[in-house]
Amino acid sequence: MGTLFGKVFGVNLKTGMIQSVFETDGYKLHHLDYFKDDVQFRDDIHSIIKTNEAYLDALDSVGAVYSTPAIRKGGLRFGSNDGKVQYRCR
């Protein structure tokens, strides 16, 4: 499943346990601009994101994943809001 903070999680449907994590390029470059290491918003986030537009810009920056990831030919593919089509081989 994709997230708004730029990660995609592979989850075991039987156990609910996370089996894999993929980080978008935007997440790797910009997550600390908005989040702590545990992906909670920074304590000063209200001084960083002051408008709805700034919030949407932040989601674009970290590569929010609105699309449903697809598994095809041994790899995971999905689009992210940092303007990329992501691909990860198994």
Q: Tell me the pLDDT of the chain (90 aa) as tens digits.
A: 899 999 999 889 899 999 889 899 999 999 999 999 888 999 999 999 999 999 999 999 999 999 888 887 778 888 898 888 877 665
Is 34 part of any domain?
A: yes
Distances 22 to 27, 41, 49, 84 between C-alpha atoms, Å: 10, 19, 25, 14
- Cα 46 to its chain centre, rounded Å, is 20
Is 2 part of any domain?
A: no
Distance CA 76, CA 33 (A): 27
Is 79 part of any domain?
A: yes
* 53-87: b (≥16 Cβ within 10 Å) or e: eeeeebbbbbbbbeeebeeeeeebebbbbbeeebe
Domain that holds residue 33: 7-89
Is 1 part of any domain?
A: no
